[in-house]
Structure formats: C-alpha cells, structure tokens
Amino acid sequence: MALWSIWQISTAAGILAGALIPESWPLTFFIPLTFIALVVPNLEDWPTALAALSGGVVSILAFDLPFRLGLIVASFVGIAVGMLVESVRPISLDKQSDQEHL
C-alpha cells in the first residue's frame, strides 16, 4: 500500500510540475538531472565525490572529442582520481567527523 501511495503522489507531483516546465526546454535537458539525482545521494566519501566531480568536469571539457570518446575519457579520469584520492586519504566523511569529536 505504501509503494502504491508514493507512486500515485509522485505521479501527481510530476503532472503538476510538468505543467510548469516551458515547452521550449528539450526533453534531453532532464536526462542529466535524473542522473544527478541518482548520483548525489551516493557521494558518501571524498574519493567518490572527487571522482564524480572530476569525471563531470572532464566530460564537459572533452565533449567535442570524435566518436563520443569524451564520456569514456571522463570515466577513466573519474576512476583514476577516485583511486588516487582513496589511496592517499582513505577516511570517509562520516568517519572523519566521528574522529574530530574524539
């Protein structure tokens, strides 16, 4: 029952909010917003946050690479940054705040 209720409320909110969005905005505008909504709650530590940030920046800067290689390059940069930061600083945000209170 709870799932059905949330589904109905979310659908109603989408219908109401959808009426406020100008028709001139392309549908492709919402794909990155959906991706951001999925990624942001999972940014729990510095390596993950910096990997996402560096990958996002590189994907914008490398957008014009041929064969759409910008996304692949951005993925590799994000992975490399995340691994580098994790090897240098393996403390998560939650653990760090816990250690500061000791």
In percent, the amount of the chain with pLDDT more than 90 equals: 47
Q: Rounded mean pLDDT of 2-12?
A: 91
pTM for the full predicted model? 0.62
pLDDT in tens, 11-30: 999 889 888 888 888 878 78
Query: What pLDDT is stored for residue 30 in this prediction?
Result: 81
Each domain of the chain, given as residue ranges in start order, spans 25-100
Is residue 70 a contact partner of residue 64, using CB atoms and an 8 Å limit?
Answer: yes
Query: What pLDDT is stored for residue 94 in this prediction?
Result: 57
